[in-house]
Amino acid sequence: MGATLGMAAEMEAYTLSDRGTWLSYADKGDLVILCEGNPHLLNPYGMMVVSSTLHLRGAQAFVNWMVSPAAQELIAGFGVEEFGQPLFFPDAQN
């Protein structure tokens, strides 16, 4: 994604980018954000335990932790210190 941003900047073109890459990629030239916050552009991450996994209990424990308030708080704060805003937005549906 960083290479795509670099190419768009070089070609004075448009591209789509995720927030994390946008914030962490320094060489964006004159690119500016034209649209953000549109629900059609959300890029949610999901998790599920596959029943055939060798480590079913460990996998379920990891999923349970990821949707816990503690993990959601970590996600909400990730990137804030470095970039002044979060790279991801927690949205666990417990």
Domain coordinates in residue numbering, the chain: 1-43, 45-94
* Of 92, 38, 87, 88, nearest in space to 65 by CA: 92
Q: What is the pLDDT of residue 72?
A: 97
Arithmetic mean of pLDDT, 2-16: 93
What three-state secondary structure class fits 13? coil
Tokens of 23: 């914030």
Arithmetic mean of pLDDT, 57-82: 96
Cβ atoms of 89 and 76 closer than 8 Å:
yes
Q: What is the overall mean pLDDT for the chain?
A: 91
Q: What is the pLDDT of residue 94?
A: 59
Residue 60 DSSP class: H
Residue 84 DSSP class: S
* Of 67, 89, 70, 66, nearest in space to 78 by CA: 89
